[in-house]
Amino acid sequence: MSQDVAWARSEPACLAREVVISVLLRPLIATYTRREVTGRDHLASLTRPVVFVANHCSHMDTPLILGALPRSWRRRTAVAAAADHFYTRPLLARTVSLAFNTVPVQRKGQGAPPDDASLLTRLLDERWSLLVFAEGTRSRSGDVGRLRSGAALLATRHDLAIVPVYVAGTHATMPAGSRWMRRGSDRRRQDVRIAFGLPIRPAPDEHRTDVMERVRLFFESEGATTTPDKRIVARSRRSAATASDRP
C-alpha cells in the first residue's frame, strides 16, 4: 500500500525543496529549454488553496509548473502523483516527495479511493493547493487525452477555484520513455511554455464533466489537440437532435 511521506511538508523539507527546484533544477532545465510563462497574474486575486489542473506529457511537467509558480504559491502546493509508479519503492517515494512535495494517489477508475480522498481532503483543509494531472498518465502523442473528473469533484466539494495550466513543449524535450532531456535537431534549446488560465469556479449544480470541459476548452484555446469527453459529445448531440425536432 502506498504511504504518504508527511515529513516532506515540514518547514526544513520545504526549504530543501526550494533549493532543489530553484537552484538545481531550474538552471539545469534552462540548458535544454527556453521557458515562457503566461497568465501568472491570474493568481494575484485568488485566495488559497486552489486546484491546479494540468495536462501531462513528461516527467518535466512537475518541476516546470512548480518553478513557474510564485514562491509563496510553490511553498504551499502539493502534487498528486501516481502511487503505482512513484510509491512502490520507499526510496523513490521519499525522493519525489521531498523534491516535489508529491502525495500518492491511485489512478484506477474515475474517483480516488477512500484513503486518497481523505489525504487530499486533509491537505485542502490545511490550505495546501493541489496540482493534479487530470489525464491520469503522460500523453504518448503530445495531444491532451480525456480528462478525468476527480479534480472537479474536489473543487466542488471544497468550494475551490480550479486554475487550468497548459504545458507545451515538454513532449519534444523529454517524451514518455525518455531518460533525459534533449535539445532540438539543430542543437538549439527547445521552446517550452506554461500558461495559467483564468480561474474556473464550479457552480453548485454543475456536473463535474462540464467543469472539466471548461478546462479542456482552455487547453484547446492554447493550441492543444484535445479529446472531448464522450459524455459531453453525446449530450450535445441529444440537445441538437431535440432542438431540430422542435417546430
Mean pLDDT to the nearest integer, 187-204? 96
Residue 235 pLDDT greater than 60, yes or no:
yes
pLDDT, tens digit (0-9, with 9 covering 90-100), for 42-70: 999 999 999 999 999 999 999 999 999 99
Mean pLDDT to the nearest integer, 122-147? 95
Q: Are the CB atoms for 80 and 131 separated by under 8 Å?
A: yes
Contacts of 2 (CB under 8 A, 6+ apart): 83, 84, 87, 88, 93, 104, 106
User: So what's the pLDDT on residue 114?
Assistant: 41
Residue 242 pLDDT greater than 90, yes or no:
no
Residue boundaries of the structural domains of the chain:
6-245
How far from 6 is each of 10, 78, 154, CA to CA, in Å?
8, 11, 20
Q: Coil, strand, or helix at residue 228?
A: coil
User: So what's the pLDDT on residue 244?
Assistant: 54
> Per-residue confidence at 107, pLDDT binned at 50, 70, 90?
confident
Model pTM?
A: 0.91
> Per-residue confidence at 111, pLDDT binned at 50, 70, 90?
very low
C-alpha cell at 132: 493534479
User: So what's the pLDDT on residue 32?
Assistant: 98
Q: What percent of the chain has pLDDT over 70?
A: 89
Contacts of 226 (CB under 8 A, 6+ apart): 143, 144, 216, 219, 220
